[in-house]
Amino acid sequence: MQISGAQMVIEALIAEGVDTVFGYPGGAIMNVYDEIYKQTDFHHILTRHEQAAVHAAEGYAKASGKVGVAMITSGPGFTNAVTGLADAYMDSIPLVVISGQVPMSLIGTDAFQEIDAVGISRSCTKHNYLVTDASDLARVLKEAFYIAASGRPGPVHVDIPKDVTAQIATFDYSKPVELETYKPHTKGNPRQVKKAMEAIAKAKRPLFYLGGGIINSNASYEVRELVAKTQIPAVETFMARGVLSYDDPHLISMLGMHGSYAANMAMSETDLVIALGARFDDRVTGKLSEFAKNAGVIHVDIDPASISKLVNADFPIVGDVRSVVKDMLAHVGNINPSRYETWRETIANFDELHPLTFHEDTDRIKPQWVVKRVGELLGDDANITTDVGQHQMWAAQFYPFTRPRQWTSSGGLGTMGFGFPAAMGVKSATPDKISINFTGDGSILMNCQELMTAVEKKLPVINIILNNNYLGMVRQWQTLFYDKRHSETDLSVQPDFVKLAEAFGGIGYRVTTKEEFDAALKDAVEKNIVAFIDVVVERLENVMPMVPSGGSLFNMMLLEKKEKK
């Protein structure tokens, strides 16, 4: 059919089954927004900042498993969105971000609100396009969704000049995607799978190293079956929380810079690393030359560029994790779980020696207590999002995750301001779950304008502010490594968070006792509107354990044990 480029954008979104779009209009994208006004097939959520629109699309994608969609205008509209693109690229989140561009005749003239969007986005997207002819739009948009969701997921950017959105051309969305140079390899090599399973059967101290790719490939339940049948201990990365339930007897805990003593020691003592959908990130490995240095490595990943990039894989398997794990399960009968009994006992001893815990305080609220308490009160009923900082690590350490896609956080880029808009996206995707955002008094101010979005669109995100009057994680590093020189990290001058929430039409609570916290959380859940719970917590609490940057996993800074009275 003959329609305008703007109409093509709408038709493509409908054809892809998109039900929610996050965005912010402007001059260059106005033709598309005029068509949004006319349609009723999907819901548009107007955020109050373009960065928030992309973060919200990320949250939606993480919680739903679908491709998130954001729409923005040219110039500063696009540059505001770059942080979201980079965040999604680092964490392999499938997005299609559509931006307006100045008309073709003005490109390269330094026109009003012109920016080289495709040039800027090239390094932080899986792929990008500048569409110069409306007759290419159907193909480009279909390719964009395919590329975003297939292989290793990621963000795809489509930049459309304003005059192209006004052009009339033929729209045909029926043609299959045919990309000569992009054909993701999803099926693992059967011989390599067999060799890997033989290595597992011979190992004495094997260890599952579970990464976020398991969640991206919807492989959590197959991985749970594999772990249960082999009875091999498992550690999760920060991005993999919820792959195994917190009460799984074979789950040690999270590993890495702020992983548990048992998890990090297990990785240091293993003789065979079974890496599933993980990329050996520096926050996991610490000093590479010391990482699992006596172990063989099985590495399963959809992205061939990730395999042996940082740690040499003895058994490389390129393929979709879910497909490969299903193949591994076919060989599981050759493995004797009792072989690893001594190894499991060794790990239990590690955990008993230095358990993942914190020192309770009867007078002051410890931030870890808040996370655990939310888990006790809400558990599986809540989806958990965080901003970035100490609160993020405490949430990853202490929340009792029961399922995949329950956890959304900014891992690779570490984006402060991510949590609140991402939690709105999570709530949009999973309206039946309570959306909790753990945040800090630094992070929450970076996108607090989204209170207005949450009020207008009735997205009752509960923001729990662990308020220590500091940029907590930076302060922790300054305390430990900079002789307590707390340079520009004191946040003692703060807004009244209760009044701030109320000014936008939400609800606010100021909490100084455990009883007040319980009452505030209960009331916020019942009132079902966007909320700030400002929790005054211990100011100088540190996240422990901690592996100093560039240090070895087995050289951890540990929580000091309390002297017995």
> Residue 518: exposed, middle, or buried by beta-carbon count in 10 A (0-12, 13-18, 19+)?
middle
Model confidence over 512-550: pLDDT tens digits? 999 999 999 999 999 999 999 999 999 999 999 999 999
Q: Quick one: CA dihedral 133, 136, 137, 141, positive or negative?
A: negative
Q: How high does pLDDT run on average in the chain?
A: 97
Supply 359's token pair.
């020192």
Cα gap 486→478, rounded to integer Å = 6
Cα gap 24→456, rounded to integer Å = 15
Q: Report how far Cα 334 is from the mean position of its chain's Cα atoms.
A: 36
pLDDT reading at 43 higher than 50: yes
Q: What percent of the chain has pLDDT over 70?
A: 99
Q: Which pLDDT value is given to residue 561?
A: 76
Cα gap 182→302, rounded to integer Å = 13
Q: Report how far Cα 380 is from the mean position of its chain's Cα atoms.
A: 18
Cα gap 556→544, rounded to integer Å = 9
Catalytic residue among 239, 416, 446, 473: 473
- Over range 349-373, report the average pLDDT: 95
Is residue 87 within 8 Å of 62, Cβ to Cβ?
no
pLDDT reading at 18 higher than 80: yes
φ and ψ at residue 398, rounded to 5 degrees: -115, -10
Catalytic residue among 11, 16, 35, 50: 50
pTM exceeding 0.95? yes
**Element spanning 351, H or E:** helix 341-353
Is residue 547 within 8 Å of 555, Cβ to Cβ?
yes
- Over range 323-352, report the average pLDDT: 97
Q: Which pLDDT value is given to residue 563?
A: 57
> Residue 294: exposed, middle, or buried by beta-carbon count in 10 A (0-12, 13-18, 19+)?
exposed
Supply 505's token pair.
């039409």
12 pLDDT band (50/70/90 cuts)?
Answer: very high
Residue ranges of domains in the chain, CATH in brackets = 2-170 (3.40.50.970), 190-353 (3.40.50.1220), 367-536 (3.40.50.970)
Is residue 186 within 8 Å of 323, Cβ to Cβ?
yes
Q: Which pLDDT value is given to residue 1?
A: 85
In what side-by-side order are the strands of the sheet with 434-440?
407-408, 382-386, 434-440, 462-467, 531-536, 507-511
pLDDT reading at 562 higher than 90: no
Cα gap 320→218, rounded to integer Å = 10
Model confidence over 380-389: pLDDT tens digits? 999 999 999 9
- Over range 193-201, report the average pLDDT: 98
Model confidence over 234-259: pLDDT tens digits? 999 999 999 999 999 999 999 999 99
Supply 476's token pair.
């922790």
- Over range 129-157, report the average pLDDT: 98
**Element spanning 109, H or E:** none
Say whether 113 is catalytic. Answer: yes
Catalytic residue among 112, 183, 341, 499: 112
Cα gap 135→118, rounded to integer Å = 19
pLDDT reading at 172 higher than 90: yes
Model confidence over 264-277: pLDDT tens digits? 999 999 999 999 99
Residues near 236 by Cβ (< 8 Å), separated by ≥ 6?
Answer: 210, 243, 244, 251, 253, 254, 255
**DSSP output for 114-152:** ---HHHHHGGGSSEEEE---GGGHHHHHHHHHHHHHSSS
pLDDT reading at 183 higher than 60: yes
pLDDT reading at 300 higher than 50: yes
Say whether 162 is catalytic. Answer: yes
Neighbours of 170 (CB within 10 A): 11
Catalytic residue among 113, 231, 449, 494: 113
Catalytic residue among 162, 366, 427, 433: 162
Q: Which pLDDT value is given to residue 565?
A: 46
Q: Which pLDDT value is given to residue 87?
A: 98
Model confidence over 421-468: pLDDT tens digits? 999 999 999 999 999 999 999 999 999 999 999 999 999 999 999 999
